[in-house]
Amino acid sequence: MRPKRDMLSEKIVETLRNAQIEIPESHEIEFIKEEKFGDYASNVLFLLSRKLKKNPQEIGKEVLEKIKDDSDYEKIEIGGNGFLNFTFSFDFLRKELKKVLEKDYFFFDIGKKRKVNLEYISANPTGPLSVVQARAGAYGNALANLLRFVNYDVFTEYYINDCGTQVDLLEKSLIYRIKELKGIKSEFPKGGYPGEYLIGIAQEILEKNLPEDKWRSFLLERIISWQKEVLNKFGINFDNFIYESSIIQYQKKILEILEKGNLVYEKEGALFFKSSLFGDREDRVLITKDKRPTYFLNDLAYHYDKIKRGFEIIINIWGPDHHGYIPRMVAGMKSLGFDTNNFLVILAQQVSLEREGEKVKMSKRGGEFITLEEVLEEVGSDPLKFFLLLRKPSQHLTFDIELIKKATKENPYFYVQYSYARICSIERYGKEKGYDLDKLLEDVNLEYLKTKEERSLMLTILKFKDIIIQAVKEFAPHILVYYLLELAEKFHYFYEKERVILEDLELMKARVFLVFCCRKIIKKILEILGITPLEKM
């Protein structure tokens, strides 16, 4: 038996199906923004009208005939332009609301326990994390939670490029600093990292009198643990940190597989992969003419490792500067025999920073650099997460440091938290008055919920499951954030008009039930977003 998912959209589809109405493939149920038109709308009339070459209004009349009277709806109407509009009956909403506090209300099974590897941030170990990486972090973390919530088996991973040119440059920059401290003049390496953090590490090395062959590993260890510490402060945890140096053992294997498929050739002393056969604009180098493996070869080795570990879905979140890199990776995955429908790359667009209207450059090798650590200290991890998650990842994002430092009124984070705190406050007040609320709710009669504020809040609460489905489908946690704002708005609106704790015991029970449903949803979404709800403000 298919588990019931209790989505309002599903209810409508069921209604149409029961009435023997043909439902075309691209049928959609959407929320209606304008309350006066109804709650949910179906585009079925447009679709049928195109197919049957008939006016939507005419088809609508026939459809309404077939549906006849269904007491779960207050009304079903044909909109002016041809939408089929459904307004649920208050009784139906009451019946549905009753389910929200049940234990298994949050049961979803979209993922069916499929194994997902989600890799994100994966910053080079060459310096502090920036707010740019914080965006990918907040997004990746929320996406992982969201996918877990709908029953995917998600494994999060952070890839550390501890080999290669950038790390060499970092080491050279360190050596420059050590010499500097010793009073030896030397030239700063071209393209090196001028950040002051290297001076501290250089000092430590001198104090500990470490031998030169230990410098590099000490340096990497310092920076990586520093990055981990900041991630920890930000409230983002990974199931695994994986080192490039640990996967280079698969280089040979990759070359073997590609050779077997006749997908490599030598040219001008370098070894090329025929990625252009798979839609890439040109073939790509695997081994350079001076016989060094490229980053790409190691990346293939890393993904070979992911496949070998049995992941069915592989998701990478990359910065926008990597978009040109996607075709060759897709080509590689195909060559390794992985179904590329299950290989997803999500680009998190850049974050540009302003300080009082002036652009701030964000480059480790450049001058000014705003670290995640600095922003966390000023703003706090939860408001920052909320702010970053408010935008869809494909959107370029700018914010003013001074503005986010203020981060009080401007941040809708507090609007949502306040609604949660108010509900907790209601509970405390009720207990103070001597009511055992949990006990009282065992026998609640929702007939007492009658006002339009109550109805509006109920409907918004019940949209939750449809919102989750939509957010999963689009990999878009920001949809949850916007929903959360709507839910908080509906709650505040209700709260202004109606009291919850009052003399009329039956009415109080019904309203407590309502706000507890609301709280349960807010809490769950905040949990998905990686944000801790505040019981007091």
Partner RNA sequence: GCGCCUGUAGCUCAGUUGGAGAGAGCAUCGGAUUUCUAAUCCGACGGUCGGGGGUUCGAAUCCCUCCAGGCGCGCCA
- Site residues (CB under 7 A) for RNA, limited to 67-96: 79-83, 85
How far apart are CB 421 and RNA at their closest, in Å? Answer: 4
How far apart CA 418 and CA 491 sit, in angstroms, is 10
How far apart are CB 234 and RNA at their closest, in Å? Answer: 20
Site string for RNA, 145-184 (x = CB under 7 A): ----------------x-xxxx------------------
How far apart CA 267 and CA 470 sit, in angstroms, is 48
SS3 343: strand
In the complex with RNA, the residue whose CB is nearer, 151 or 350, is 350
- Applying CB under 7 A, among 57, 294, 340, 342 the residue interacting with RNA is 294
Question: Going edge to edge, which strands form the sheet with 240-243?
Answer: 240-243, 153-160, 115-119, 313-318, 343-347
- Applying CB under 7 A, among 222, 478, 509, 519 the residue interacting with RNA is 478
In the complex with RNA, the residue whose CB is nearer, 205 or 298, is 298
**Which span sits near RNA by CB under 7 A: 38-46, 105-113, 307-315, 373-381?**
38-46
How far apart CA 229 and CA 201 sit, in angstroms, is 16
In the complex with RNA, the residue whose CB is nearer, 43 or 151, is 43
In the complex with RNA, the residue whose CB is nearer, 105 or 415, is 415
Q: How many residues bind RNA (CB under 7 A)?
A: 86
Q: Which of residues 415-434 bind RNA (CB under 7 A)?
A: 415, 418, 421-422, 424-426, 428-429
In the complex with RNA, the residue whose CB is nearer, 111 or 293, is 293
Check if the beta carbon of residue 413 is closer than 8 Å to that of residue 390: no
**Which span sits near RNA by CB under 7 A: 1-9, 217-225, 284-292, 365-373?**
284-292
Check if the beta carbon of residue 176 is closer than 8 Å to that of residue 186: yes
285 forms beta bridges with 272
User: Is the Cα torsion angle 503, 504, 508, 509 positive or negative in sign?
Assistant: positive
Site string for RNA, 322-361 (x = CB under 7 A): xxxx---------------------x-xx-----------
How far apart are CB 251 and RNA at their closest, in Å? Answer: 13
Q: Taking CB under 7 A as the rule, does residue 289 contact RNA?
A: yes
Q: Taking CB under 7 A as the rule, does residue 268 contact RNA?
A: yes
Q: Taking CB under 7 A as the rule, does residue 43 contact RNA?
A: yes
Instruction: Report which DSSP code applies to 498.
Output: -
How far apart CA 177 and CA 171 sit, in angstroms, is 10
How far apart are CB 120 and RNA at their closest, in Å? Answer: 15
Check if the beta carbon of residue 136 is closer than 8 Å to that of residue 317: yes
How far apart are CB 311 and RNA at their closest, in Å? Answer: 22
How far apart CA 61 and CA 505 sit, in angstroms, is 45
Q: Taking CB under 7 A as the rule, does residue 55 contact RNA?
A: no
How far apart are CB 415 and RNA at their closest, in Å? Answer: 4
Alpha helices in 101-183 (DSSP H): 131-149, 165-182
Phi and psi, residue 335, nearest 5°:
-65, -30
How far apart are CB 250 and RNA at their closest, in Å? Answer: 16
How far apart CA 3 and CA 15 sit, in angstroms, is 18
Distances (CA, A) of 13 to 8, 23, 27, 109: 9, 8, 9, 19
